[in-house]
Chain A
Amino acid sequence: MNTQDQSLIFELSKEGRVGYSLPALDVPETDLGSLLPDDYVRTESAELPQVSELQIMRHYTALSKRNHGVDSGFYPLGSCTMKYNPKINEDVARYAGFAQIHPLQEEETVQGAMEMMYNLQTSLAEITGMDEVTLQPAAGAHGEWTGLMMIRAYHEANGDDKRTKVIVPDSAHGTNPASATVAGFDSITVKSDDRGLVDLDDLRRVVGEDTAALMLTNPNTLGLFEEHILEMAEIVHEAGGKLYYDGANMNAIMGYTRPGDMGFDVVHLNLHKTFTGPHGGGGPGSGPVGVKKDLIPYLPKPVLMKKGEGYTFEYDRPQSIGRVKPYYGNFGINVRAYTYIRTMGPVGLKQVSEYAVLNANYLMRRLEPYFDLPFTQHCKHEFVLSGRRQKKLGVRTLDMAKRLLDFGYHPPTIYFPLSVEEAIMIEPTETESKETLDEFIDAMIQISKEAEESPEVVQDAPHSTVVKRLDEALAARKPVLRYVK
C-alpha cells in the first residue's frame, strides 16, 4: 500500500483546468437572463475541482490503492459474505441494452429487461421456496421494512390491528429492530439459550395476541442452524403472527433447505451477499422480498407479470402497500445476480453452500485450540470465537483485528453478535482456497502467541498501513464533514 500523504482532489485544483469535452452549442443561443429570473440564477459558482483527466485518474488510482477489496485479499467479514465478484457480471451489467435503457420507456421496448427480471424473480422464488418475489427493495434493510409493511397490511386487512409487536432474537442484526420501528412496530427481544439458539420457553412467553411477526435469521448470526425452527413456526403461527426470514445468511443453505419449507411467510435476500452483486464499498445492494400466497396482495406495486409471450407491469393492486422505491429496484445489481445464478445452476448453488459450510467448519476446528469457542456444535457458513482468553492478557479483540491488517487480511466482524464477549465472527465463503485458509490460520495462531509473548505488538497494531489507528472520538467531537478551502 502507498504510504505517502494523500491530497484531496480539491487540493489539486487549479483555475482554468478541465477534465471534460463537450461539443459547442449547436442551437441558437438565447440570453440566459431572458430565460431565468435574476434571483434564480446562481451567482456564486459551485467550487468543484478543476483538474485534467490524467490527474483525476492518478488521484482515484491512488485512492484505490488505499483500499482493500476481495480482489486485494482474504476478507472473512462475518455476516457479510465477502465472496468473489465475478467479472462477467460487470461486463453484462454494462451492455447498452441493460445499462442504457430508461425505466419509463414503453413496455414493448424493454421486454428483454423484463424477461431478465421475471426469470430472476422466479429463480429466487424457487431457491427460497416462496410463491412470489418482488425485486423492488434496494437493499437488505429496505427489504426488511418492505416485508414488515406487508405483514402489517395483512393483519390490518384482517381487522387485526392490535398486533403491534415484532419479536427479534438478542443475536439479531441491528437493522431488524430498526426496520420494525420504521414500519410502525415495537420490537421485543427473545433470549437465546446456552447453545446459542432461540430459547423456546422464552418465545412461548413473549408471543401473544399482540405479536405481528418473529424476525429470524437462520442460520442465525452465530452461524448456528435453529434446529427447532418448525416448533418456533408453530408457536408464532398459533399466536396469529407471521414468520419473517432475514436472508443475510442464505449462503449456508442453498439446495439444502428453503425458508418457505421451514414455515417462513416472508423472506428478504441480499443479492450483494449470496448472489455476488458486489458490495461496492457499501452499496448499491439489492434486497428482493419473497412471500407466501396469503401475502401476495400486499406486494409493492407495480408487480411484474408474464402475459402470453410477453411481460407487463401490473399497477392495479388495490391492497398493495404501495411503492417502496421509484421504478423497479436496483436493476443493475439484479442483472449481476441473475448472471451468477445462470453461471452456477442448481448443482453449483448447492456446492456453494456445501463448500461455504465446510470452509467455515475447517477454520473453526483449526482455530478452536487457540481461541475460546462459545458454541461447539458444527457451524454453518460462519462461526463466532470469543477473545476473552486474550483479553485477560490485555489484548482485546479490536487489537487482534488491527494486527490482522499487518498480514494483509481484512479482519472478521468484531463485537457482534452482542451476546458474545469480545466476539470475532468469521465467514470465509466458498470462493477461498484451502491455501488461503491455511495462511489465515497461521496468522491467527501467530497473533494468539503474540498475545501471550509480546502483547505490545498486537496492542500497537497496525504497523504497516497508510495510517495508524484513527482518532474516532475527535471525529465525533469536532465533526469535519467536508473540505473547506
Chain B
Amino acid sequence: MTFRYLPMTEQDKKEMMEAAGISSTEELFKDIPENVRFKGDLQIEPALPEPELVKYMSALSQKNINTKDYASFLGAGVYDHYTPSIVNHVTLRSEFYTAYTPYQPEISQGELQAIFEFQTMICELTGMDVANSSMYDGGTAFAEAALLSAGQTKRKKIIVSKSVHPESLAVLQTYANGQRLEVVEVGTKDGLTDLEELKNAVDSETACVLVQYPNFFGQVEPLKDIEEIVHSEKAMFVVSSNPLSLGVLKPPGSFGADIVVGDAQVFGIPQGFGGPHCGYFAVTKKLMRKVPGRLVGQTVDENGKRGFVLTLQAREQHIRRDKATSNICSNQALNALAASVAMTALGKQGIKEVAVQNIQKAHYAKNLLLEKGFSIPYEAPFFNEFVVKLNGPVKEINKKLIEHGMIGGYDLGRDFPELENHMLIAVTELRTKSEIDKLATVLEGL
C-alpha cells in the first residue's frame, strides 16, 4: 500500500537497509520484547483516499449548526466577531504554521518579531509593562496567575470572585489542588463582586484576588474599589479581561492590577468548539522575571543589527526542571499571530469602533427586551453581554430559536441555580438590527 506522505520506494528501502546493515526492518524492532509486541492490525478505521475523506469530514462538519449560517447570541467567554479575511491568509503562510518554537533565532526572525509585536499590542491594550508570548487560553492563564501570586507572596489563600467565568473557576480549582492552595470564593451582589464579603475575606494570608472585567455576566466590575481592598493587605490583584472591551474600557493596568490575563480569541481566532484559543498574560515590570511561558526580547547581532530572541529563559521548565514554577512549554504562537494580524487590521481606530458597536448593539438589545416586558435583573454598566429572565427553561427556548435560524444565549441555570430560566445574551458587532429585532420578537412569542 502506498501513501502520499511517505516517499519511501522499494529501491530506497533496499539501499537504506543495506547501509544500516540489516536485511529486514523487523531487525530494528527486535529490542521490543516479544511479549509486548503488538500482533495484527490496529483496530481503527481503514485509510480513506483524499476525495472520500473530504466527503466524510465535510458530512461530519455539516451535522453541526454553525454561526456562519445561524445568527449567534451566544458568548460566555467565546465570541462571534468580525475576522478580516487577511488573518487566514497570513496564518496559512506555512513558514509560520510548519515551524517549531523559534529556538534557532537566525532562521526564526519572522516568528520572533511577530511575537514581539503581539507582546507590544497586549501591553498597549491592558496598560501593563510586560506581556508574554501567549498561554493555552484564558482559563489556564487565569489559574497560572494564581500560582504566580502564591509563589511571589509565599501565601496560600487564593480569593476569587464568583462573577468570573465558571469554567475558569473550575480550572483554577484544579491547579490550586495541585499546589495545595486554598481557594475562597466570594459571592456576588446584583451581578457584581460583593465588596463587603471581599473585604472580610482578604487578609494577610491572601496571595491574590482574581476578578473578571467585564465579568461573566457582562458587567463592569468596580476595579477601583476592589484594588484598594486587595492592596490593603499586599495581596496581588489579578484581573481577567476581554481584550476587545479594552478598546473602550479603561485598562486594568490603570487601576493598579499586578497581573492581567484573558483570551485573545476575540481577535480573529475561530470559536472552534472551544479551542485552540489564545491566552495572554501581562504583568508589571516587577514581575517580569516570574512570568510563565516564553518571552521574546530585542537584541542585536554581531554586526549590531536589530534582532529578536527568546529571553529570560532561566524561568522556564527546560532550564529549571523541578524548580520551575510553571510547566508550560508551548505557547499558542499561531493563534497569537492570528490575533496580531486582527489587532493590526483593526488598528488604533478600529478597535474603538468595534468595541463601541458592541456596547451600542448590546444596549439596544437590552432596551428592546425591557420594552417587550422581560425583566433584566442586573443594572450595572455592561459591555456586550447582559442577563435576561425568560418565560421558561433556556434549553427549550434555545431549541425554538434554532428553528428560527438563531443560536440563543447561555443557560445560566447550568452554573447558578438561582439563575434558572436566565439567559446570558451576547451581542457583537456582527449582529444586525434586524437579527436583534427578530430575537426579541421570537422570545416574546414563546
Contact = CB atoms under 8 A, between A and B. Distances in A.
A395 interface: no
B12 A434 contact: yes
A469 B395 contact: no
B198 interface: no
Interface string B175-192: 101111000000000000
Contacts of A91: 54
A131 interface: no
Nearest to A270: B330
B5 A86 contact: yes
B35 A256 contact: no
Contacts of A347: 1, 41, 46-47
A100 to B, nearest CB: 4
Interface string A90-122: 111111111111111110111111011001000
A68 B95 contact: yes
A53 B86 contact: yes
Interface string A33-62: 001110111110111111101001100111
B50 to A, nearest CB: 6
B42 A349 contact: yes
Interface in B169-217: 170-171, 173-175, 177-180
A30 B100 contact: no
Given A326-B77, A479-B288, A101 B64 contact: yes
A282 B133 contact: yes
Given A256-B32, A347-B47, A481 B297 contact: yes
B369 interface: no
Contact of A47 (B25, B124, B356): B124
Contacts of B119: 481-482
B25 A175 contact: no
A71 B94 contact: yes
A281 B96 contact: yes
B250 A42 contact: yes
A5 B113 CA distance: 12
Contact of A26 (B175, B305, B433): B433
Interface stretch (B152-160, B230-238, B342-350): B342-350
A112 B177 CA distance: 34
Contact of A471 (B57, B147, B271, B301): B301
Given A60-B114, A282-B133, A355-B6, A181 B347 contact: no
B446 interface: no
Contacts of A83: 5
A65 to B, nearest CB: 7
Interface string B317-349: 111111111111111111101001101111111
A346 B45 CA distance: 7
Contacts of B58: 92, 95, 97
Nearest to A328: B274
B78 A181 contact: no
A467 B360 contact: no
Contact of A326 (B116, B137, B302): B137
Given A149-B177, A349-B42, A282 B330 contact: yes
Contact of B47 (A187, A322, A342, A405): A342
B247 interface: yes
B295 interface: yes
B3 A67 contact: no
Interface stretch (A12-20, A237-245, A289-297, A448-456): A12-20
A466 to B, nearest CB: 6
Contact of A101 (B65, B220, B350): B65
A103 B271 contact: yes
Contact of B272 (A88, A101, A149): A101
Contacts of A328: 273-275
Contacts of A462: 106
Given A46-B125, A184-B179, A253 B32 contact: yes
Given A126-B42, A281-B96, A355-B6, A6 B109 contact: yes
A345 interface: yes
Contacts of A424: none
Contacts of A123: 44-45
Given A9-B117, A280-B334, A102 B273 contact: yes
A13 B36 CA distance: 61
A343 B47 contact: yes
Nearest to A112: B63
Given A434-B15, A467-B307, A378 B299 contact: no
A149 B334 CA distance: 28
B321 A257 contact: no
Which 4 A-B residue pairs are closest in the complex by CB-CB distance? A327-B274, A97-B61, A112-B63, A345-B47
A324 interface: yes
Interface string B105-118: 11111110110110
B1 A378 contact: no
Given A42-B249, A469-B106, A351 B86 contact: no
Given A357-B25, A430-B8, A346 B270 contact: no
Contact of B17 (A43, A280, A358): A358
Interface string B15-44: 111011110010111111101111001111
A6 to B, nearest CB: 7
A138 to B, nearest CB: 4
Contact of A8 (B113, B246, B294, B341): B113
